[in-house]
Structure 1
Amino acid sequence: MSSSMREALADTIAADGDLRSPEWRRAVLDIPRHEFLRGGFFHRTDEGGRTGWEPVRPENETWLSACYSNESLVTQIAGTVVPADIDGRIHRQPTSSSTLPGLVVRMLEELEVQDEMRVLEIGTGTGYSTGLLCHRLGDHLVTSVEVDEEVSARARTALGTVGYHPTLVVGDGLKGHAAEAPYDRLIATCGVMSIPGEWLEQVRPGGRILATVSGWLYSSELASLTVRADGTAAGRLLGGEVSFMLARPQIPPPLGVLPDLSDGTERECIVAWDVLNDWAARFVAQLAVPKAQRFSLALEGGVFDVLLDVESGSWAALRKAEGRWIVREGGPERLWAQVEDHVTRWRKEGSPGLDRFLITAAPGEHMATWTR
């Protein structure tokens, strides 16, 4: 039965334009996704106004068909909890998942691998994408790094079940894996705040890095970069509102004690808060304030929308009054002024789509610009 489901999945991904080559179609047909989900997954519920997660295990009648849906499936909650651990519902944040197959395949197509290329994968997860890479290239050319030892162990078992034994490493994926370098390609299935210097060092000049660049405003985009001889890399954003969980070392810190929002300087906004509701505009804003977190507070005087950079202590609190947006800013940096500067310049250029953005990366940083 699963073979027909795999064929239907391949047809769905192809119809969406994400599956384009016969080599990757063969991989989708031959690699059984359900073997990588033997531990089950979590189904989202929103009852009572709270997001919760309920386990779906192999004995559940919906398990197999869900494995071949073109959907992401959450496999771990709160860093340790897996479907076998609970009955009922859990109200915590997901920490690992099996990415929707269409996105996995799209990324593998964009990677443009060729025979005999050596690939480093950051974020093994369930191992499904690792299995597709092994099918295409051979497991001796695939190295995959996973930060969570138990997640890596489950992936190793699943990969062995389907006949593959790539190099699996437990460690911080942001550091890559120098022992198998240099690589021809690097693909990351987690979001990053910036392109790590170790990645640039471990991919040969002319090689390619495919990674999702993000920030704490959580507008993220897939970037395809070519490594240059000077140790930097350049490329473009591919568009499409690609979203991954941030690499665990880059998860934002707790907000801690909030600043006194009655301090600071108040003025009328040039750009309204609701600009952050637009994915592309929020990405532009995030370029200005990558370490700012956003949230809302109900205080005396109304509801305030807040940006806070915990590291610098800078903040901006916005409220709407009589049809106007008012901002109060405090700390060493004027966060909303920086957002306004970036967004205003982007709008003056005609608000180019994110697929018109160019990105340049040096160790520990990246810079994005746009073209008309």
Structure 2
Amino acid sequence: MTDEPGVEALAAELRRQLAGRLEKDGPLRSPEWRAAVEAVPRHAFIPRFYRQSDAPGVTTWEPVTPETVGQEEWLRLVYSDETWMTQFDGRDIDWTDPKPISNATPTSSSTLPSLVTRMLEDLDVHEGMNVLEIGTGTGYSTALMCHRLGGEAVTSIETDDGVARRAHEALAQTGHTPHLLVGDGRSGHRDRAPYQRLIATCGFRSIPPAWLEQVTPGGVILTTLRGWMRSLGLVKLIITGDSASGWFSEDAPSFMIARQQDAPESLGMVPEPEAGTKRKATYGPGILTSSGPAFMAQLAAPDARFFSMPVDGGPTGTFVLDSVTDSFAVLAPMGSGWQVRQGGPRRLWDAVESAVAIWEEYGSPSTAAFGVTVSPDGQAVWLGNPSGPQWPLPS
């Protein structure tokens, strides 16, 4: 954090403005969390970061520091409601001579404050509660919880050593003393259990069993469920004994997937031109990128990913490959519609089309119509109620 005259005063004013916008727009609903937003200096947690360039062509990220854009502009960017990238491909950045970065995958960030505060509000914490955070990241959300509950009540786990080290330094610098750990968040942290609240700031393919064991009955788990194709969305689960259930939120905010659950490097084997059986497709590949249908496709084919390229030397088609079962579906243009060619243990496109048809039958609802049940017997997403149509989550 800089000590230049006027910088801290400007930062304090920008925090007040940010809190006012978040309160006006809805994510910030309580005076306790507003006080935290006004008090915690976000610029201490992201002194340097990357933003996406507007230049056409390959996606490129450009460095933002007080030196590259000036102190005032840097602060205004810090206190805007934006997500800023702080790491790519799991590697530390050399900030002695930062360069634009292209062809890289973001692996750590400071999430936009509206989503951070919305999740903290939804967590419904009260004084005296013990909270476990999965994914310390920059430490900004950790600091907000420390301001609200005190450092003794907050335990936070980060999987990346470098990210954890920088968060620890920023938290110490700002006077916050949570219990910080480096490890696999799926295991939680038994030594400080039980917890009344658990919040995850990275995405998971299913709910880790350890979380149910470490959160008390009546407690809350707030996390993002996602797959290898897309995010399913934010879900709030209430613990009942050794089980939990709850609903997705209205929209589908997305976090980076937990590194231990990232997709395999290989997409799977591209099928031979004559492999599989063909039929006319009811839906084309556009459903894989349309909000509601894509949600259903992720549920129906949890281990699949897709890409487009010319099919058999002809026009561009879409390949849907399941690297776990080696199942495939290849969609190719056919007249005014599409033909699908499928093979392997699972008929992927049959499953996707069936799920989309059910979604349409129920009136094409938002994600808020879906819930999740987690029990020792398995985990499933359901539509309407726990007795409605169900799709299992991967174990």
On whether the aligned pair clears a TM of 0.5, the verdict is: yes
2:287 corresponds, among 261, 265, 275, to 275
Q: Within the alignment, does 1:57 sit opposite 2:65 as a pair?
A: yes
Match in the other structure for 2:207: 195
CA contact (8 A) 2:268 2:321 kept: no
Q: C-alpha deviations, 1:213-266, integer Å up to 9, x for none?
A: 11112133100000111x111000012220100000111112254332431111
Matches within 5 A, 1:140-155: 140-155=152-167
Closer, same or farther: CA 109–364 of 1 in aligned 2, 3 Å: farther
Matches within 5 A, 1:100-111: 100-111=112-123
CA contact (8 A) 1:261 1:317 kept: no
Match in the other structure for 1:21: 30
Q: Distance in 2 between matches of 1:49 and 1:165?
A: 44
Match in the other structure for 1:327: 340
CA contact (8 A) 2:134 2:157 kept: yes
Counterpart of 1:239 in 2: which secondary structure? Answer: coil
Match in the other structure for 2:247: 236
The amino acid of 1:76's aligned partner reads Q
CA contact (8 A) 1:195 1:364 kept: no
- How far 1:83 moved relative to its partner? 5.7
Q: TM-score, structure 2 length as denominator?
A: 0.91
Matches within 5 A, 1:195-344: 195-229=207-241, 231-254=242-265, 255-299=267-311, 300-344=313-357
Q: Distance in 2 between matches of 1:83 and 1:26?
A: 34
Q: Percent identity?
A: 46
CA contact (8 A) 2:320 2:329 kept: yes
- How far 1:133 moved relative to its partner? 0.4
Q: Within the alignment, does 1:125 sit opposite 2:134 as a pair?
A: no
Q: Distance in 2 between matches of 1:256 and 1:369?
A: 29
Q: Distance in 2 between matches of 1:225 and 1:48?
A: 42
Q: C-alpha deviations, 1:266-308, integer Å up to 9, x for none?
A: 1011222212222122111211111111111123121111111
The amino acid of 1:23's aligned partner reads E
Match in the other structure for 1:75: 86
Closer, same or farther: CA 106–338 of 1 in aligned 2, 3 Å: same
- How far 1:46 moved relative to its partner? 4.9
- How far 1:59 moved relative to its partner? 2.3
Q: Distance in 1 between matches of 2:240 and 2:374?
A: 10
The runs of at least 4 aligned residues of structure 1 exceeding 4 Å deviation read none
The amino acid of 1:357's aligned partner reads F
Matches within 5 A, 1:166-177: 166-177=178-189
Q: Within the alignment, does 1:347 sit opposite 2:360 as a pair?
A: yes
1:361 corresponds, among 371, 374, 379, to 374
The amino acid of 1:73's aligned partner reads W
Q: C-alpha deviations, 1:184-229, integer Å up to 9, x for none?
A: 0000000110000011111111100000011112133100000111
- How far 1:134 moved relative to its partner? 0.3
- How far 1:364 moved relative to its partner? 9.6
Closer, same or farther: CA 221–364 of 1 in aligned 2, 3 Å: farther
- How far 1:367 moved relative to its partner? 1.2
The amino acid of 1:180's aligned partner reads R
The amino acid of 2:323's aligned partner reads V
Q: Which runs of 5+ in 2 are unaligned?
A: 1-9, 386-395
Q: How many residues are aligned here?
A: 370
Q: Within the alignment, does 1:44 sit opposite 2:52 as a pair?
A: yes
Match in the other structure for 1:84: 95
CA contact (8 A) 1:174 1:198 kept: yes
Match in the other structure for 1:157: 169
Could you say what the CA RMSD is over the residues aligned between the two structures, in angstroms?
A: 1.5
Counterpart of 2:175 in 1: which secondary structure? Answer: coil
Q: Distance in 2 between matches of 1:58 and 1:318?
A: 49
Q: Distance in 2 between matches of 1:20 and 1:235?
A: 22
Q: Within the alignment, does 1:136 sit opposite 2:148 as a pair?
A: yes
- How far 1:87 moved relative to its partner? 3.2
Match in the other structure for 2:6: none
The amino acid of 1:274's aligned partner reads G
Q: Distance in 1 between matches of 2:146 and 2:376?
A: 29
CA contact (8 A) 1:198 1:363 kept: no
The amino acid of 1:125's aligned partner reads G
- How far 1:14 moved relative to its partner? 1.3
Closer, same or farther: CA 364–242 of 1 in aligned 2, 3 Å: farther
